[in-house]
């Protein structure tokens, strides 16, 4: 007799069976034990996806205490299936939008033309996923001291039986202005002080607050663990200790996501695997004593995920003489862990101008620059490459240069310093000349690519920059480990 069976997802790594036969007056006789190996499948039992979002929240007091959220939504899913909630409100104003005391003629703490939110939780056989989105349009805070055409927060988490990740890709500002200063790009966690004479001591604005984490089973654990991912995004947080006689706290565009999934049973201990990636469109340090300004920065955690930014224009610094300008620009970093550890990062910019002189000539310019770093590690080896990297329409001091310069090309900038084109180097002490794949022989590989890197070395230079100043355009880094 032959039996064909379907195994449950909870079946282990090996299934054994013994057949026996017996008859009247005949003692039972057992067959030899027969065992077959099994590949355990993912088990969505007990998996959870949940999250919340709101368009804005306003707290104020003590004169007219209020604690209100606008367009709040939430969703939760446990086990295979999907749930979602959305909301939208129009013409929101606090204190209110009616004439008279506390109306439009008085101090307006918060106003928005549209607030739109959605929270979606989904669980399939293979993963738990949650996406929360909070959008605000026509935003004005503190009587117009802070304005934006659009503010969007996105929180995404994913957990499966083998890994977990989070991403805030899609979070953005459009035409953000604070105290008369326009911000075309915002680094996560940026804090801007508000005028203490107007809003009280200790008042501030925090932009693109992003708090995320991932966790999983302990190293070497074969079963019983859980992969978890969490992310919270607040696009604008305002704290004013004194506005129209009250303390005020405002949050615009909040999105929260959580996913967890039971570990898929492993039959053998998994390799020590990790990935990472980071990059930016531009970094400017005009004075070595000051912190650098970074535009379009992206990064992912060791467990993988996705992070990206897209900008219609680039200007750094935002005020004064710009060291770098560019038009359409974007950056993205992605990473996954599975049979192979993979990571890839790129930084792309168009119409780039670096250090324009008093005559309007760019010290270095390019039509298109893209730095890309790709890394992969698996049981049989590890390697990195720069596929996707390009540098087109390059000009130095207005003079056209050859396209796609070789790796680590250095050109002297008379009276200023020098520029490194297509700069590349491996992680750690690995020499990219002798080991162009950047593999270190221990299962790790990592590569950094920079399109343009200007360094100022001459004290009395025509740009008026301090020696030690530097500008980097389009940096991309990726690495992967399998041990």
**For the residues of 351-420, what is the DSSP string, one character each?**
EEEEEE-TTS-EEEEEEEEEEEEEEEEETTEEEEE-TT-EEES-EETTEE--SSPPTTEEEEETTTEEEE
Q: Which helix (H) or strand (E) holds 423?
A: strand 417-426
pLDDT-wise least confident of 271-285, 307-321, 343-357, 449-463 = 307-321
Residues 6+ apart with CB under 8 A from 252: 55, 56, 110, 112, 136, 139, 141, 151, 234, 235, 236, 238
Q: From CA 78, how far away is CA 66, in angstroms rounded?
A: 34
pLDDT at 9: 65
Residues 155 and 297 in one domain: no
Residue range(s) defining the domain that contains residue 284: 273-482
Residues 206 and 318 in one domain: no
pLDDT at 107: 64
Q: Is residue 196 helix, strand or coil?
A: helix
Residues 162 and 203 in one domain: yes
∠ CA 380-381-383 to the nearest 5 degrees? 145
pLDDT at 54: 97
Does residue 155 sit within a domain? yes
Mean pLDDT of 400-424: 92
pLDDT at 308: 86
322, 356 in Cβ contact below 8 A? yes
Of 446, 248, 233, 454, nearest to 341 by C-alpha is 446
By CB neighbour count within 10 A (0-12 exposed, 13-18 middle, 19+ buried), where does 383 fall? Answer: middle
pLDDT surpasses 90 at 166: no
pLDDT band at 346 (very low <50, low <70, confident <90, very high): very high
Q: Is residue 459 helix, strand or coil?
A: coil
Termini Cα distance of the chain: 45
pLDDT surpasses 80 at 288: no
Of 294, 291, 326, 324, nearest to 311 by C-alpha is 326
Residues 225 and 304 in one domain: no
Residues 232 and 288 in one domain: no
pLDDT at 272: 86
Residues 187 and 118 in one domain: yes
φ and ψ of 478, to 5 deg: -145, 150
pLDDT tens, position by position, 351-409: 999 998 888 899 999 999 999 999 999 999 999 999 999 999 999 988 998 778 999 99
288, 466 in Cβ contact below 8 A? yes
pLDDT surpasses 60 at 99: no
pLDDT-wise least confident of 144-148, 180-184, 267-271, 286-290 = 286-290
- For the entire predicted model, the pTM comes to 0.77
Mean pLDDT of 142-152: 95
Q: Is residue 167 helix, strand or coil?
A: strand
pLDDT tens, position by position, 10-30: 777 888 889 899 999 889 999
Residues 372 and 437 in one domain: yes
Q: How many domains does the chain have?
A: 2
Residues 79 and 219 in one domain: yes
pLDDT more than 90, % of the chain: 62
Does residue 4 sit within a domain? no
pLDDT band at 138 (very low <50, low <70, confident <90, very high): very high
pLDDT surpasses 90 at 169: no
The b-or-e profile of 306-335 (16+ CB within 10 A means b, else e) is bbbbebeebbbeeeeebbbbbeebbbbbbb
pLDDT tens, position by position, 229-280: 999 999 999 999 998 788 999 999 999 999 999 999 888 877 788 899 999 9
Q: Enumerate the β-bridge partners of residue 117.
A: 87, 134
pLDDT surpasses 90 at 118: yes
Does residue 19 sit within a domain? no
**Mean pLDDT over each residue of the chain, to the nearest integer:** 90
Does residue 57 sit within a domain? yes
Domain boundary pick from 219, 240, 262:
262
Residues 205 and 308 in one domain: no
Half-sphere CA count of 77, side-chain side, radius 13 A: 23
Residues 197 and 313 in one domain: no
Residues 323 and 240 in one domain: no
pLDDT at 55: 97
Residues 407 and 427 in one domain: yes
């Amino acid at each position: 007799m032959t039996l064909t069976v379907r195994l449950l997802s909870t079946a282990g790594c090996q299934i054994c069976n013994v057949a026996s036969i017996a008859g009247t007056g005949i003692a039972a006789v057992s067959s030899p034990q027969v065992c077959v190996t099994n590949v355990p499948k993912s088990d969505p039992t007990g998996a959870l996806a949940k999250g919340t979002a709101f368009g804005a929240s306003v707290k104020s007091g003590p004169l007219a205490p209020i604690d209100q959220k606008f367009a709040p939504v939430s969703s939760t899913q446990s086990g295979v299936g999907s749930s979602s909630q959305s909301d939208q409100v129009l013409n929101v104003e606090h204190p209110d939008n009616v004439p008279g005391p506390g109306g439009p003629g008085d101090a307006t703490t918060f106003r928005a033309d549209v607030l739109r939110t959605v929270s979606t939780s989904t669980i399939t056989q293979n993963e738990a996923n949650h996406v929360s989105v909070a959008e605000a349009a026509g935003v004005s805070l503190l009587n117009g001291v802070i304005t934006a055409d659009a503010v969007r927060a996105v929180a995404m988490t994913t957990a499966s039986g083998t890994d977990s990740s989070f991403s805030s890709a899609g979070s953005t500002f459009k035409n953000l202005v604070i105290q008369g200063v326009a911000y075309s790009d915002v680094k996560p966690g940026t804090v801007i002080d508000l005028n203490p004479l107007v809003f009280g001591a200790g008042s501030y604005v925090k932009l693109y607050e992003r708090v995320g984490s991932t966790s999983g089973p302990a190293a070497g654990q074969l079963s019983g663990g859980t992969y978890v991912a969490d992310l919270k995004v607040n696009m604008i947080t305002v704290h004013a200790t004194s506005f129209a006689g009250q303390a005020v706290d405002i949050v615009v565009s909040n999105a929260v996501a959580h996913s967890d999934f039971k570990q898929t049973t492993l039959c053998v201990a998994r390799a020590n695997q990790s990935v990472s990636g980071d990059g930016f469109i531009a970094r400017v340090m005009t004075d070595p004593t000051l912190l650098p300004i970074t535009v379009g920065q992206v990064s992912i955690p060791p467990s993988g995920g996705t992070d990206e930014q897209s900008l219609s224009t680039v200007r750094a610094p935002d005020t004064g003489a710009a060291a770098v300008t560019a038009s359409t620009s974007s950056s993205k970093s992605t990473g996954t862990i599975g049979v192979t550890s993979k990571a890839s990062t790129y930084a792309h910019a168009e119409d780039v101008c670096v250090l324009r002189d008093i005559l309007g000539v760019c010290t270095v310019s390019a039509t298109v620059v893209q730095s890309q770093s790709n890394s992969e590690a698996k049981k049989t080896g590890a390697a990195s490459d720069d596929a996707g990297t390009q540098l087109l329409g390059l000009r130095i001091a207005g003079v056209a240069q050859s396209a796609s310069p070789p790796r680590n090309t250095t050109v002297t900038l008379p009276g200023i310093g020098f520029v490194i084109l297509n700069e590349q180097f491996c992680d750690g002490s690995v020499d990219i000349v002798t080991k162009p794949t950047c593999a270190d022989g221990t299962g790790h590989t990592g590569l950094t690519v920079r399109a343009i890197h200007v360094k100022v070395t001459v004290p009395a230079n025509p740009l008026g920059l301090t020696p030690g100043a530097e500008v980097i355009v389009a940096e991309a880094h990726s690495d992967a480990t399998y041990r």
